[in-house]
């Protein structure tokens, strides 16, 4: 049989490029190491020794991805921020149960492996891990030609944290009469991008590289703002018992996510005039004629986290958060009811 011989590289998978990518990301990964990490990058698995001093340690794990926000990164060929997004989506999820993130694993699947691009992505992951105080313990980079386009990739992550059993936030301490404190988001975070892209890019034809006066920056800069990581501001408050519950506001928005922290017999009342809604949400709502109820069910509407606390602790919680640079507001209260969110004024 004549013709060129087939190799893995000719089929679309470049092992040498993969090895180069590992070398480029090595120092980024090492920059996240914390006490407990055993070994170095390159093993088949990552090793982590549990911290000492826990009486009844509980491990809390979570997994998530960046979603179609990656499409914005593809269009702008900017890949240094989505890594923080994938870390944030995972560590914020385990934080709401009181867990300190210990380590993180990432999964990156690409159509064609460009070592410099992979290094940018992993640098963002490492930056997110440093903000969360967790180690980037390992991961997988898979080159999958024919499955993804040559300039496409998907990014997912997995976080493991630890909490003392008695400090576990499971909703059991939430009672009617407690206040709800909303922590400001940086924008869309990593949710609702399928709707945002359809409205802003496909229907309205807006240019990602043009400045939008309402936003004060280009549309692309707004849409690529990384998801905030709330670990360092909230972990001390959790450990001191100042919070009775937490909800990470992701897919499902403010209509569904706060319900996930509630025990039976309780409900939530949110006052919509108690926090400012960032202009990106107004742009989406008005441009796409999106119903208000759909906006609050899809997006975080300016609140990345909602915390429950005893009324007498609210001022202390607000002050502590402000001291760490987090903007927060008293946005509502826990009421009697059966797992629903009541909005004042009601959603249309």
Q: Which two tokens stand for residue 111?
A: 């159509």
Is the per-residue pLDDT at 1 higher than 70?
no
Please check whether residues 331 and 255 belong to one and the same domain. Answer: yes
Q: Which residue, of 119, 142, 167, is where some domain finishes?
A: 167
Residue 10 in domain: no
Single pTM value for the model: 0.95
Kindly report the CA angle at 50 between 47 and 53, in degrees rounded to 5?
A: 165
Number of domains in the chain: 2
Please check whether residues 93 and 235 belong to one and the same domain. Answer: no
Please check whether residues 38 and 163 belong to one and the same domain. Answer: yes
Can you give the pLDDT at residue 2?
63
* 245 neighbors 174 (Cβ within 8 angstroms): yes
* 68 neighbors 194 (Cβ within 8 angstroms): yes
Please check whether residues 125 and 207 belong to one and the same domain. Answer: no
Residue 174 in domain: no
Q: Which residue, of 142, 167, 192, is where some domain finishes?
A: 167
Average pLDDT, the chain: 95
Residue 72 in domain: yes
Cα(335)–Cα(253) distance, rounded to whole angstroms?
A: 20
The pLDDT tens digits for 230-257 are 999 999 999 999 999 999 999 999 999 9
Please check whether residues 290 and 325 belong to one and the same domain. Answer: yes
Can you give the pLDDT at residue 73?
98
Q: Which two tokens stand for residue 251?
A: 């897919």
CATH number of the domain to which 327 belongs: 3.90.650.10
Residue 1 in domain: no
Domain that residue 281 falls in:
179-344
Cα(307)–Cα(305) distance, rounded to whole angstroms?
A: 6
Please check whether residues 222 and 338 belong to one and the same domain. Answer: yes
Please check whether residues 99 and 227 belong to one and the same domain. Answer: no
DSSP assignment of 19-76, as one string?
HHHHHHHHHHHHTT--TTEES-TTSSS-EEPPPS--SSEEEEEEEEE-GGGHHHHHHH
Mean pLDDT of 28-38: 91
Q: Which residue, of 133, 167, 201, is where some domain finishes?
A: 167
Please check whether residues 146 and 220 belong to one and the same domain. Answer: no
The pLDDT tens digits for 247-294 are 999 999 999 999 999 999 999 999 999 999 999 999 999 999 999 999
Please check whether residues 272 and 339 belong to one and the same domain. Answer: yes
CATH number of the domain to which 117 belongs: 3.30.1330.10
CA dist list (Å): 217 to 188, 212, 275, 342: 15, 6, 22, 34
Cα(209)–Cα(189) distance, rounded to whole angstroms?
A: 19
Please check whether residues 153 and 225 belong to one and the same domain. Answer: no
Please check whether residues 40 and 96 belong to one and the same domain. Answer: yes
Residue 217 in domain: yes
């Amino acid at each position: 049989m004549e013709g060129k011989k087939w190799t893995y590289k000719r089929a679309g998978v470049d092992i040498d490029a993969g090895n180069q990518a590992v070398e480029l990301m090595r120092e980024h990964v090492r920059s996240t190491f914390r006490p407990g990490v055993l070994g170095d990058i390159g093993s088949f698995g990552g090793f982590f020794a549990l911290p000492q001093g826990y009486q009844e340690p509980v491990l809390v794990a979570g997994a998530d991805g960046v979603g179609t926000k990656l499409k914005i990164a593809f269009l702008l060929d900017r890949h240094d921020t989505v890594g923080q997004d994938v870390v944030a989506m995972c560590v914020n999820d385990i934080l709401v149960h009181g867990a300190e993130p210990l380590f993180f694993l990432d999964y990156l699947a690409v159509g064609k492996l460009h070592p410099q691009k992979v290094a940018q992505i992993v640098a963002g992951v490492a930056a997110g891990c440093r903000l969360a105080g967790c180690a980037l313990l390992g991961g997988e980079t898979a080159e999958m030609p024919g499955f993804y386009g040559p300039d496409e990739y998907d990014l997912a992550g997995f976080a493991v944290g630890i909490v003392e059993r008695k400090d576990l936030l499971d909703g059991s301490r939430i009672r009617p009469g407690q206040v709800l404190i909303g922590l400001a988001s940086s924008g869309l975070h990593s949710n609702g991008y399928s709707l945002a892209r359809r409205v802003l890019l496909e229907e309205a034809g807006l240019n990602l590289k043009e400045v939008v006066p309402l936003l004060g920056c280009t549309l692309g800069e707004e849409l690529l703002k990384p998801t905030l990581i709330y670990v360092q501001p909230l972990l001390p408050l959790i450990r001191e018992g100042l919070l009775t519950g937490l909800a990470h506001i992701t897919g499902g928005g403010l209509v569904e996510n706060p319900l996930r922290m509630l025990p039976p017999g309780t409900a939530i009342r949110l006052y919509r005039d108690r926090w400012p809604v960032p202009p990106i949400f107004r742009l989406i709502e008005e441009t796409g004629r999106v119903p208000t109820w759909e906006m609050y069910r899809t997006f975080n509407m300016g609140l990345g986290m909602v915390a429950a606390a005893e009324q007498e602790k609210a001022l202390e919680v607000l002050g502590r958060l402000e001291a760490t640079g987090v903007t927060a507001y008293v946005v509502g209260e826990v009421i009697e009811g059966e797992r629903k969110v009541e909005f004042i004024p009601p959603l249309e």
